[in-house]
Amino acid sequence: MGNTVGNDSIRYFSKNNSESAVRDGLPDCFPRLWRFCLSLTGRRDAADDLAQATCARAIEKAAHFQAGTHLDRWLFVMARRVWLNEVRKDAIRGSAGFVAIEENEISDGSAPAETNIFAREVLSELNRLPEAQRVAALLVFVEGYKYAEAAEILDIPTGTVMSRISAARASLARRMDQATGTGK
């Protein structure tokens, strides 16, 4: 099959490149994918399940990935779609809600303890934001995506991402002012 010349041979090799790009790239993307899944679900166990389901789907759909493009973005879009499908199913079944992020231990063993405590506090504050602001803030503040990239991942206009980020900043600033006693 790989030795033939023609369109079938090109598709075959292209498919192999896509599949190997996904399989080779998953380990590097997994920590960020899991963190994104945690921001969507709000629960460590649900993030584990969502990240695993996303990886399985990515391997299953690897032939659709364009090798040489951003695997992380492709995975984030896929994770969001898988999660939305689960939310819809849960709404129909009447499943339970979220667990506070403070109940989850999120640590980076390579960072000093103070950094891990601060990261947990930041994620805790992000978790208190409404879902739309929380997910946009995670993509921009934590993952470092530009507004247009976050908009592409979330399948919404760039202006909507900008609006959500602005609202998230204002809300976080109010909370920080109140926490430090400088708020009105």
**By residue range, what is the domain housing residue 38?**
1-100
Query: Residue 63 is part of a domain; what is its CATH number?
Result: 1.10.1740.10
pLDDT of residue 76: 95
Q: Is the pLDDT of residue 78 over 60?
A: yes
Same domain, 77 and 121: no
Q: Is the pLDDT of residue 169 over 70?
A: yes
Same domain, 9 and 56: yes
Instruction: Check if the beta carbon of residue 106 is closer than 8 Å to that of residue 38.
Output: yes
pLDDT of residue 88: 79
Higher pLDDT, 178 or 68: 68
Instruction: Check if the beta carbon of residue 22 is closer than 8 Å to that of residue 71.
Output: yes
Higher pLDDT, 122 or 81: 81
Phi, psi of 96 (to 5 degrees): -75, 170
Among residues 53, 71, 100, which one ends one of the domains? Answer: 100
Same domain, 32 and 121: no
Same domain, 2 and 81: yes
Number of independent structural domains in the chain: 2
pLDDT of residue 7: 40
The per-residue DSSP string of 125-162 comes to HHHTS-HHHHHHHIIIIIS---HHHHHHHHTS-HHHHH
pTM score, whole prediction? 0.63
Place of tokens 């963190």: 35
Average pLDDT, the chain: 79
Query: Residue 116 is part of a domain; what is its CATH number?
Result: 1.10.10.10
Same domain, 96 and 14: yes
Count Cα neighbours of 133 within 13 Å in the Cβ-side half-sphere: 17
pLDDT of residue 98: 46
Banded model confidence at residue 142, pLDDT cuts 50, 70, 90: confident
Lowest-pLDDT choice from 6-10, 32-36, 125-129, 143-147 = 6-10
Q: Is 174 inside any structural domain?
A: yes
Same domain, 80 and 125: no
Q: Is the pLDDT of residue 103 over 50?
A: no
Q: Is the pLDDT of residue 51 over 50?
A: yes
The model's pLDDT over 85-100, given as tens digits with 9 standing for 90+, comes to 888 777 676 544 444 4
- The Cα–Cα gap between 144 and 25 comes to 19
Same domain, 120 and 60: no
Phi, psi of 81 (to 5 degrees): -70, -45
Q: Is 105 inside any structural domain?
A: no
Same domain, 41 and 92: yes
Same domain, 85 and 118: no
